Amino acid sequence: MDATPVVSKWKGILLVATSGCCWGFHGVLIKHAYSLGASHMQVFFVEVLLATLFFGCFARRFFQGFRPQGRQWLSLMGIGLSTIGVGNFLFLSFQLGPVAVTATLMFLYVPVVYLFSVCSGRQRFKPVKLLAIASILGGAVLATELIHTLHEPGVIPAVFSAIAASSCYAVVFILTPAVAGYTTLEFRSFALSGMGLIGCVLTFLFVPDLWQDLGGNWSKFLVFALLLGVVGQTLPVITLMKGLPLTGSSLGGVIASIELPIAVFSAALFLGESLHWVKVLGVFLVIFGIVLYNLSDRERVVADAAGTC
């Protein structure tokens, strides 16, 4: 039996998990940036700017052995446009309403990606996988205390923004595995960040009021900008672009859910947010769902490996 598919799968899991961990810490940095007076677009702008500059340093590798042709460019553009949507709607939702609303509703991409995977014939429907996804969503509701925040101001706009961000995120997970077949890792990462940067520039041109004067906080914001660029775009994007082709869109989406436990514990550690048994139970349910889905998916990978004998 060829163990290569199994090894590749675990490599992909580690890469996607790294991406999720980065985005878990990301929320803490965003809240600090907002406290300095920055708008959601300024935060997104500094992230994609630094990431674009970093990935641009590898321009010589962009088309080594791969070059998108014809309609393949449309899929790549679809991922780039979806990235713009994720950045805009996600950060806007954080700014409009409670963090719990955004953090919970973002996980709606998980069942969407799984449903697409089943309907497109990429995998068979399994009740145990549906149970795993339900465990993740239920855990997200408990860990973020969503029910207790629904009465707070700004909830409705935040809900719509979070749902839009989740939809865009689902598109990224769905399209990336196929795009990996005709693009290099460096070019995929550059394209995502570059299109995000273009989207920010266009937004500022049409809505210049989104560029806030931070006064004496510019020096602090620039320090956070460097951290945001690394934790929010550079490292998670390159690990996600490398890991998703190895895990597939559905399993990758589930593994990325590790973001929530990291976000809950980092918020308690760095922002002083409460951490009680309900949140801990929610974190446990998320981790349980990830493990359950991974175990149920293991049978398919092992079968694929056996088929290569």
pLDDT value at residue 100 = 66
Q: Residue 48 is encoded by which pair of tokens?
A: 């994609």
pLDDT value at residue 49 = 93
pLDDT value at residue 288 = 92
pLDDT value at residue 305 = 42
**pLDDT over 50 at 20, yes or no:** yes
**Of 101 and 232, which is predicted with more confidence?**
232
Mean of per-residue pLDDT scores for the chain = 84
- CA–CA–CA angle 236, 242, 245 (5° rounding): 125
**pLDDT over 60 at 2, yes or no:** no
pLDDT value at residue 302 = 43
pLDDT value at residue 306 = 42
**pLDDT over 60 at 303, yes or no:** no
C-alpha distances (whole Å) from 261 to each of 20, 240, 241, 256 are 10, 18, 22, 11
pLDDT value at residue 190 = 92
Q: Is the pTM of this model over 0.85?
A: no
Q: If pLDDT is split at 50, 70 and 90, which confidence band does 276 have?
A: confident
Q: If pLDDT is split at 50, 70 and 90, which confidence band does 15 have?
A: very high
**pLDDT over 50 at 246, yes or no:** yes
pLDDT value at residue 154 = 67
Q: What percent of the chain has pLDDT above 70?
A: 93
pLDDT value at residue 99 = 67
**pLDDT over 50 at 23, yes or no:** yes
pLDDT tens profile 148-201: 777 777 678 888 888 899 999 899 889 888 888 888 889 988 988 998 899 899
**pLDDT over 60 at 137, yes or no:** yes
Query: Is the distance from CB of 133 to CB of 114 less than 8 angstroms?
Result: yes
Determine the residue type at 45: F
Rounded average pLDDT over 75-89: 86
Q: Residue 37 is encoded by which pair of tokens?
A: 């007076």
pLDDT value at residue 91 = 78
Query: Is the distance from CB of 168 to CB of 86 less than 8 angstroms?
Result: yes
**pLDDT over 60 at 66, yes or no:** yes
pLDDT tens profile 219-238: 888 888 888 889 888 898 89
- Residues near 125 by beta carbon (within 8 Å), at least 6 away in sequence: 118
Q: Residue 214 is encoded by which pair of tokens?
A: 């931070």
Q: If pLDDT is split at 50, 70 and 90, which confidence band does 54 have?
A: very high
